[in-house]
Amino acid sequence: GENVGLHLPTLSVQEGDNSIINCAYSNSASDYFIWYKQESGKGPQFIIDIRSNMDKRQGQRVTVLLNKTVKHLSLQIAATQPGDSAVYFCAGIGGYQKVTFGIGTKLQVIP
Amino acid sequence: EAQVTQNPRYLITVTGKKLTVTCSQNMNHEYMSWYRQDPGLGLRQIYYSMNVEVTDKGDVPEGYKVSRKEKRNFPLILESPSPNQTSLYFCASSFQGRNIQYFGAGTRLSVL
């Protein structure tokens, strides 16, 4: 697979446990955030998004929390499965449709 | 099937030999973008296009060119590739820049 996982923060979790992946952003103008999942050898795929007028949004097994005060996002994955192993990164979108991506976190699920 | 298609998936070339990486999307998206992904640096935007004949520089445009003559296609051109352009490249599209982007599978480029 591709070596995009090198040099990334890594989170190892036991199968069935919950995972929390964090992302800090610096651009105060960002008002829309997206979490992407990138599996080895593939392009990033959309997981969940949240607008800045929200604090929390839930999807299927995933929840995103936004704390604008400290410019922090988190992605929570419930009952983590082996298929969740991937690199996860957040993207912030602000004025002029400028998109900024985080460097990502590698999630390793231990069977 | 809605998709973003990049070609080639893998390319090895030599310094100075012009190359083009093609990108095509079948979702009628206005916005298209090219990124490079390097270990420890994440995705960095090279160029983007808001619509046909409208292109703008991203964060790392040096050494690259793009064109948007048709809505569905957004080729990335390296006129004179150099080893520091060895990277993993992704094309993406969305209805507008402030929306979910759909990514291609990536092009692994090695410049010797």
Question: Per DSSP, what are the bridge partners of residue B66?
Answer: B76
Closest to A62 (Cα-Cα) out of A12, A110, A3, A18: A18
Beta-carbon separation of A43 and B106 below 8 A? yes
Residue B68 in tokens: 């948007």
Is residue A79 predicted with pLDDT exceeding 60? yes
Spatial contact of A4 and A88, defined as CB atoms under 8 Å apart: no
Q: Which amino acid is at B11?
A: L
pLDDT at A86: 96
Q: SS3 of A96, please?
A: helix
Chain A positions in Cβ-Cβ contact with residue B43 (cut-off 8 Å): 44, 89, 101
Closest to A104 (Cα-Cα) out of A3, A4, A2, A1: A4
* Averaged pLDDT, A41-55: 94
Q: Cα separation of B5 and A95, whole Å? A: 28
Q: Cα separation of B3 and B68, whole Å? A: 18
Question: What's the half-sphere exposure (Cβ side, CA atoms, 13 Å) at B16?
Answer: 0
Q: SS3 of A63, please?
A: strand
Q: Per-residue pLDDT for chain B (112 aa), expressed as one digit of tens each?
A: 889 999 999 999 999 999 999 999 999 999 999 999 998 888 999 999 999 999 999 999 999 999 999 999 999 999 999 999 999 999 999 987 668 899 999 999 999 9
Chain A positions in Cβ-Cβ contact with residue B45 (cut-off 8 Å): 99
Beta-carbon separation of A43 and B88 below 8 A? no
How do beta strands A105-110 and A10-14 pair? parallel
